[in-house]
Structure 1
Amino acid sequence: MKQNFLLFHTIVELSAIVIAFAVFIVTWNTRKIIDNNYLYFVGMAYVFIGTLDLLHTITYPGLNIIPGTIYYTNQFWIATRFLEALTFIMGFWFLKRKKVLNGDITILTYCLITILLTLSILYWKIFPVCYIAGTGQTAFKITAEYVVIAMLFLAGFLLYSSRNSFSPSVFRLLMLSVFFAILSEFCFTLYVSIFSLPTEIGHYAKLISFFLIYKANVETGFTKPTELIFKDLKDNEEKYRTLTENLPELIFRFDRSFRCLYANYALQQFLSMKQESYTGRKLSHLGLPASFEHLLIKMLITVKQTKLTQETNFDLNEGNYTNSFAIQVIPEYVLEDHKGTYLVICYDITDLRITERRLMELNNTKDKFFSIIAHDLRNPFTSLISFSELIYKNVNRLSPEKIENLAMRMNDSAKQAYILLENLLHWSKMQTGVLKPDLQELDVIELLKEIKHISSSTAIAKGIEIKLEELPAAKIIADKQMMSTILRNIIANAIKFSYANGSIVLKAAERQHEVLFSVMDSGVGIEKQNADLLFKTDSSFSTPGTQNEMGTGLGLRLCREFVEISGGSIWLESEPGLGTTIYFTIPAQDNAVQKDTVVK
């Protein structure tokens, strides 16, 4: 019976020792990449726990390897269990430290402790006696077992408190290992003989405890490395994946065949399919808008050939999509197998593009405003300079009546300049949204007479007569400043391209729900291809007048803008050498009232 138990004990202990050494070997070889200080510390300590267990095994009664009258095996058992329980507890102190554990210092410390414990038992013989033949366990031995049990309970509590630092499977294995270690210690508080049943059960529990340590530290480290060695890395990956999923940008990853390996949640909002269906599909099968898809394929091919990051901005106007993207295609190469993936990030810059376009419009408005100032104020100031110079040079030769007439013309030009300046300031406010069109009822005859009076001083200086013909007793609903600017610019354009001593005819005619205005001159006319450029916003076409008068090319474009805002349309008819007629329509009073009623 003793021989059978001795064999059983030796096999169990040697199995536990092999496991302890295996735990140390794996820990030592993965020390540069292991990121859990608890597992690192416990794994390093297990070689010394195994060493003390080996001394416990070879001093067992019956082997006669180390002769003596004292039961060394019980002393080594208590020393080993104290060291093991203390290791479990100390490991949590290192777990909370962010600094990587120093393995060399740990080994030297445990080596010193192991040597001191061995000397205290075998050489100095100062370690308390734990078993007496014929009597059984000493009080120290039983008390020590309960102290070890209490320490293991503390280790279990600390393990539960730090469970978030371990993967669920490793946490369960470690907790079960502590439980069976406690069971083993409790069994060793009950036996009377070292060959008794509680001793046998205690060894079984110890073997299971070591096997669970093996599962947690060795097998898991090989078969499930992401749950043990790279747990923090996995946690970080989950954090970054969550961050990527919540980003508003479209993010893809493609393989070398342009097959989708990953697409974030933003794509599900952009397209109609669910996110799971994107993985494994080729780019051409993702359902992206055709122009968007072709651009991505072109960029991916370029990146694949050049191995350089490609960037571009793209305006998507297709179907229901009106987006602008800043697109990056980034090559990701794996050196080991020379295979690569491609990361595609599409930043939605729609709001930025809208803001850019708005800023461009505001900038163009500013440029237009200053050009209009130069365009519209040149004529009255030219008259002021001409008349004042005429008086200055001929003051002694001019009659009082002539001086009075010239002064009156100068006053008219000054008033015209003031009115023009006031109109331009109102227009600038309207362009910036500060001033809205002030719709009011305007009499067509009064409006044209007033415009004729304003424009006459410039026309007379060139010997041109402005005539009013076929004026209906009609009324329109429009902004007076706008109408004044429209007619003033068209008449100024007609004067510019009319020959001296010519004439300009202003007409108006009632049509269905609108009034048709026309300004006809007998000037140089314009070619058809150039006529198409006069009203285009993105064109600055302008030619000198019959007396080399210079313009900005913006007058008629401003007219088109104001006419369209007023709800009408503008066009011209011209033949080179035969003159030009410009037409525009403005809603009549009855039509404007009807529209206003419908809106209400």
Structure 2
Amino acid sequence: MAAAGTLEADRLSALQALNILDTPPEERFDRLTRIASAAFDVPIALVSLVDEERQWFKSCIGLTGSEDDRAVSFCSIAIESPQPLVIPDTHLDPRVAHMRVVTGPPYLRFYAGVPITTATGFRVGTVCIADTKPRQLGATEIALLRDIARIAEDELNHKDLSEALASWRESEQRFRAVFHEAAIGMTMVDESGRIVEANRAFAAMIEIPAGELRGVPVSAITHPADRGGDNVDKLFSGELDRYRREKRYVRPDGTWFWAALTASILRDRDGRPDVTIGMVEDISERKEVERLKDELVSVVGHELKTPLTSIRGSLGLLEAGVAGELSVEAADMVRIARENTERLTRLVEETLDLERLHAGRVELEVRSVTPVDLLAATAQVVQPVADAAGVALEWQAPGDLELFVDPDRIVQALVNLVGNAIKFSPPGASVRTMVKAHGANVLISVMDEGRGIPPEQLEAVFERFRQVDASDHREKGGTGLGLPISRAIIEQHAGRIWAESEPGAGATFRITLPLPQGKPPVAVYDRRAPRRAQLARAVRRLGRRVETFDDPEVLAEAEGFALVLVSGAGLDGVELDLPVVKVDAENLDASVAEALA
């Protein structure tokens, strides 16, 4: 133990001797994290140094702040060995599965780090990458991460410039080798929008030899309906660090395929923008699955809902004795059939409801309402359920708050939350629902005195068909869709919903909704329902009232709005008395904030 303590003391002394801790950002390190983020298509890349009690980020992409506790540092584990540390799935690794960066934000699922060493041989930090989903790294990719770490090591130790340049060139050669051999499609595009280089995978997707793609404008192989959405100019100007979009690429024979494109900038050794690097993933199969799912939902809606309603009504009439008095056995069978039919009907209705919410096909009917009105409407629905369960309901809300929401949808979410609280409360317990102002938001809390929720399931309860306990489905009933629907409703209002609990001490579900600012409302126009919903959420997040339009003539007659926000064409030639501002759909929140500033 003493020898280990001495070694750690020497390591810390070597780290301090570098005189780099708590120094400002430097382009020579920032360049490496940008390359790592782009080369591996990960949201998080770090040059991290491990101090006595913390890990400090000399360069960081994807995380806020400049340091974190060493106790939650994967890099602290990585420096224990000279070999790379690769954790394909953090949930399966007992060394890190319990850490708060895994169980909470940023919910890390993948990590790969290579130690960086001082000239005296002490491992003082890492170059590492991380993601919020599990991943695997091949031998070639690990070799590339090693090369980036060696460059960081050279910079850290201030080696001779010629050696650093030689290392850079070698690393660049390795990067290009990885580029060409990667299984995912990759492109390099210059400032004019022409392809500089494309790898074999992309060439196979587009069915054009890689050599023939050099110099070809990206627009020439993009579906006409999707042209103009690539933000190459904004990457080169520095307005964006990266962007992601879904688009269609067109092959020489006229066929096309859907792809998810993630693009970011690569800079030269002097920090100047060099080329954009794009990661292209063929998502045609996923798009087809989505289309089939939408068709299935449509079939369910039209082919099942109506006959189920008819069956439920017929069974209800039989149970009421319309066809004559039934025997005890027959009455029980009819009752069971009716209850199961009602449950199946609820499942169909809630599944359709959730799909419409996620697809953005539900238009909010927003109007002014007070929290008192919302709680009163909720109480009318849940009070009979509470009385039957022997649970007391308590309501508390200020009378001077005003919300601009769709009251029917918010009441639907509250009914789900309060109904769940009643379901999991013992007889004689209380369920309290409280509303109060909370900064620029209103905070709604639903608190019960039930058994609580285990910490690892606080987020999982919002997944479809998820129950805290497998027996709950049989004992408590329900479809398992109430909480997912509630989350979708709250998020459509630009709010947030989450759970807090300690096992055995009850559970609290909290909702925040933005309070409206005292400014004129904003009009949003788009013929596409999903895009209207996205624009409206972005406006509500800023506390502004909003109304959506899909008809130019109706919009032309509207009054009292500050301006109109649009994300596409459709208002050309329409005379409006309002200023019209076109927002950038790829950078929606920032563009809307700028328009409303």
TM range (shorter): 0.3 to 0.5
TM-score, length of structure 2 as denominator length:
0.34
Greater helix fraction, Structure 1 or Structure 2 = 1
Structure number with greater Rg is 1
Larger fraction in strand: 2
